[in-house]
Chains A and B, each alone.
Chain A
Amino acid sequence: MSLQTIQSSTVVDSFAADHKLSDENINQYLTFFLAGEEYGVDILSVQEIRGWEKTTVIPNSPDYVKGVINLRGTIVPIVDLRLRFALPVLEYGPLTVVIVLMVKDKTGRNKVVGIVVDAVSDVYDIDHLKVKNPPDLEYSVGNTYISGLYNVENKMVILLDINTLLIKATSLNVVDVEN
């Protein structure tokens, strides 16, 4: 599979057509690049992929919450993952991608949140039995959000638990490392 920047949301349909999902242990993950690393999120939580547009800033919000946008009538917050992971920022340009995800909060309600990433990568069938646990390092902010590591085609994909990642990000009730 070659690298592409996917601009439409038909990625799920086209991929599903090519591959049969018969095995129960296999989930599909959409992967993206962030500061040279490849991360993956469960494709069922991906609502759409958009380009970057200017956000309206939210008063007194953390720096990684860039603001909100108008997504066909709904107010959707946008989180910059680089800032979330305390990485240096990139300037936003026409190639910047925003992945809009649907996550569940503590009470089970659905929330729509967008994340800014460097570029979209691919969709992989990931066999859960082959996913390895992340190493137990104390200091890193990212660790609580990593659900596992997966090797594919000679590279490592970091699987993210986006519910924890984004609900924590958009809920200032939780005392966070940065605060």
Chain B
Amino acid sequence: MAVDISQFHEMFFEECKDGLEIMETGLLQLSSDPEKKTVINDIFRAAHSIKGGAGTFGFQSVSEFTHDLETLLDLVREGKCKITQPMIEVMLQSVDCLRTMIDQLRNHQELDCSKSNSVSVALRAILNQAQGKNCERNDALVAQDETAENNDKFSYQIKFKPSQDIFRSGNDPYRIIRELSELGRLTSKVILNDLIDYEKINSTECYVSWEFLLEGDALDKNRIEDVFEWVIDESEIDIKAVSQSIPAVIEHKEQTKENKQVKSVVSEVESVVQKSAVEKLPAELANNKIDSKADNSKSSDSRSIRVNIDKVDALINMVGEMVITQSMLSQLSKDLSQDYHDVISGLAQLAANTRELQETVMSLRMMPLSFAFNRFPRLVRDLGNQLNKKVNLIVSGEQTELDKTVLEKLTDPLTHIIRNAMDHGLETVEERLAAGKSEEGLLELKAYYEGGSVVIRVSDDGRGLNDEKIRKKAEKIGLIREGDVLSQDEIKELILRPGFSTADQISDLSGRGVGLDVVKQNIKSLNGTLDMQSEQGKGTTFTIRLPLTLAIVDGQLIRVHDSIYVVPLVAISESLQIIPGNINRLAGSVDVYRLRNENIPVVNLSDLFGFNRSAKSGNALSMMVVVESNDKKIGLVVDELLDQQQVVIKSLETNYQSVKGVSGATILGDGTVAMICDIHDIFSMSVLKPEPSSGRNDTSDKFLAA
């Protein structure tokens, strides 16, 4: 074909990804409910799509691999064989193989066939077994193929009668014949029995049919069938293997009625799935489709479109610009006299519209957490089998939505936490029974909105953190001295350190001690927090808190000397006027403010940010903004509190690099740039090294408590 179809490859890969997910979810469902017909249909359709698409784009290995899977699914679908657990297992493995193959194709890598070959063999074995049990009619054909396959060489007799209007669907018998001839040595015989009078011939119709004999070594029936894939529903096709020991004769063999029935059912399914050809939809299949739609909460035909993410990002950027312009106009309008009240009210209306537009556009990038959660049932199942543990995974709140980039960065940390729960938290059946617990462990994955954040909780009813073990390990490594007592908080901190693990053995999954600190980092990079609660013997709960949006922040503008900064409102605990008498200088270097019954370290942003201002903090006219992070507070000295407004976060990393203490920049109403303070960084930047006598030589974020 002259058209370059490689531009559609990406689309095909995306659709394969979706199809494989449907297959996997379906197979897992079948695992607990093997009779669900609609699920089987879904899986079959997905497999068939993938096979068809792969064939179109010339991805032979994918197409061939999927063919067996599809055949097996077809048999199950027609009730000709029952689905069993080993079957599901092999099919799940096939899905994995396909995933790998698609990835490799996507990255233009060499296909690694070792795994797929062994899975293929397993598939074939099951297929043969399933078909062997089957004493239905089409077995005659299959058996013949199999016996034929037992001989080393065999050829195929193919009868091909295209439908009269085959050309109308863009198909050309010659192309098909050409393709056929590439498979081996082709001898053909044209049958002109159906030719009508020359005067009456319509050149857009086909009146001929053929009989072929295809000879060669290692011919594959699947491959031959694939040649006819596009026309199988419009034409009569009969492919029969003959052993080469029998003299090859092209004969007219009557198609058995049963074969025709089987073929027509298969072709009807194909016509539904074939995307490009214009086919009429058999009413019967339309009914099937409606059934499955009612079942799925989210079918692939739902009202959505695929949009390139760059377009969405561009849209979000532009809306961000609009917000800036609109707030600039609002600011200018404050100076307008009341004569212009029409303009003023128009601008107020604009502000409301802009806010709504902004919210809607931000929601474009929101995706339900189910995208991250859907891999966990499989993971828990596999891990449970591997570790010999019985675990019931309950997922709730998966419809909770998050920004796409946040979601993508969340999957790794979540996976790690779940692995930890499976590996360390939950006990084996014997242990649980001995502890008086139920045989099956409970792993709960819950998501919900709270305030301006999304909360994700992973809780298990397993062993819980072993305080003593942790303490001992810390002592052993030398992090604490013998006999030091650790508070709950400190124990948690220890676990989150890189390299720390109380696992007796390093398993494949975990125990190396590299996991939880990376998890914490990942979550921190999303401006989120990770919290952990545990009770020995009862279980552990991890709580992740993430902000809902990335790009817009409600901020308090402050002035420190000549610079304007933005402090995120969520971090501000209170703002107050400094009473000079309440400031005490500790050990000559640290200022502390006495606020009610707390002592809050005082931080001067100019000093922190390296601006050479030596003004002593605590000027009577100064204000202090008390900010809080992880239950700790510090007070920022500012010269003036300015407006509170929503600011659009502009990245510093795009053209510069990330700056400690600053999470980004924003453009103010007058067009100048202001830095947005990163409160978490400011806390760690104002860390005071602990006194040497405490024996702790780590530099975690602890404050010198007064």
Q: Which residue numbers of A lie inside 8 Å of B, CB to CB?
A: 54-61, 65, 67-70, 73-77, 111-113, 170-173
CB-based nearest A residue for B605: A59
Q: Which of B321-370 contact A (CB under 8 A)?
A: 321, 324
User: Contacts A68-B665, A75-B652, A75-B665; is A56 near B657 (CB within 8 Å)?
Assistant: no
Q: How far is the CB of B674 from chain A (nearest CB, A)?
A: 7
Q: Which of B560-576 contact A (CB under 8 A)?
A: 563
> Hey, which chain A residues are within 8 Å of B321, CB to CB?
73
State the CA gap A171–B674 with chains docked (Å): 21
A-B pairs, top 3 by smallest CB distance, nearest first, are A59-B609, A56-B673, A60-B610
Cβ of B667 within 8 Å of any chain A Cβ, yes or no, is yes
Contact assessment for B659 and A75 in the assembled complex, using a CB-CB cutoff below 8 Å: no
A-B contact pairs, 22 of them (CB 8 A): A54-B672, A56-B665, A56-B675, A58-B662, A58-B675, A59-B661, A60-B659, A60-B661, A65-B656, A67-B673, A68-B656, A68-B673, A70-B672, A73-B324, A74-B654, A75-B651, A75-B652, A75-B654, A75-B665, A75-B673, A112-B655, A170-B657
State the CA gap A113–B660 with chains docked (Å): 20
From B317, B657, B671, A172 is in contact (CB under 8 Å) with B657
Q: How far is the CB of B386 from chain A (nearest CB, A)?
A: 38
> Hey, which chain A residues are within 8 Å of B324, CB to CB?
73
User: Contacts A69-B673, A70-B672, A75-B673; is A59 near B659 (CB within 8 Å)?
Assistant: yes
> Hey, which chain A residues are within 8 Å of B651, CB to CB?
75
> Hey, which chain A residues are within 8 Å of B662, CB to CB?
58-59
Q: How far is the CB of B263 from chain A (nearest CB, A)?
A: 53
> Hey, which chain B residues are within 8 Å of A112, CB to CB?
655
Between B324, B611, B654, B674, the greatest number of chain A beta carbons within 10 A of the residue's beta carbon is seen for B654
Q: List 5 extra interface pairs beyond A65-B656, A111-B654, CB under 8 A.
A: A70-B667, A70-B672, A73-B321, A75-B651, A170-B657
| Chain B interface extent, by class | 20 to 34
CB-based nearest B residue for A102: B655
State the CA gap A172–B673 with chains docked (Å): 21
State the CA gap A170–B658 with chains docked (Å): 10
Q: How far is the CB of B218 from chain A (nearest CB, A)?
A: 46
> Hey, which chain B residues are within 8 Å of A65, CB to CB?
656
> Hey, which chain B residues are within 8 Å of A111, CB to CB?
654-656
Q: How far is the CB of B393 from chain A (nearest CB, A)?
A: 39
Contact assessment for A60 and B609 in the assembled complex, using a CB-CB cutoff below 8 Å: yes
> Hey, which chain A residues are within 8 Å of B673, CB to CB?
55-56, 67-70, 75
Contact assessment for A56 and B563 in the assembled complex, using a CB-CB cutoff below 8 Å: yes
> Hey, which chain B residues are within 8 Å of A57, CB to CB?
563, 611
State the CA gap A70–B675 with chains docked (Å): 12
State the CA gap A61–B656 with chains docked (Å): 11
Q: Which of B667-683 contact A (CB under 8 A)?
A: 667, 671-675
State the CA gap A73–B314 with chains docked (Å): 13
> Hey, which chain A residues are within 8 Å of B671, CB to CB?
70
Cβ of B479 within 8 Å of any chain A Cβ, yes or no, is no
State the CA gap A126–B65 with chains docked (Å): 59
> Hey, which chain A residues are within 8 Å of B655, CB to CB?
74-77, 111-113, 170
Q: How far is the CB of A161 from chain B (nearest CB, A)?
A: 19
Contact assessment for A61 and B659 in the assembled complex, using a CB-CB cutoff below 8 Å: yes
> Hey, which chain A residues are within 8 Å of B278, CB to CB?
none
Q: Which of B629-661 contact A (CB under 8 A)?
A: 650-652, 654-657, 659-661
CB-based nearest A residue for B657: A171
Contact assessment for B672 and A74 in the assembled complex, using a CB-CB cutoff below 8 Å: no
Cβ of B595 within 8 Å of any chain A Cβ, yes or no, is no
Contact assessment for A60 and B660 in the assembled complex, using a CB-CB cutoff below 8 Å: yes
Q: How far is the CB of A75 from chain B (nearest CB, A)?
A: 5
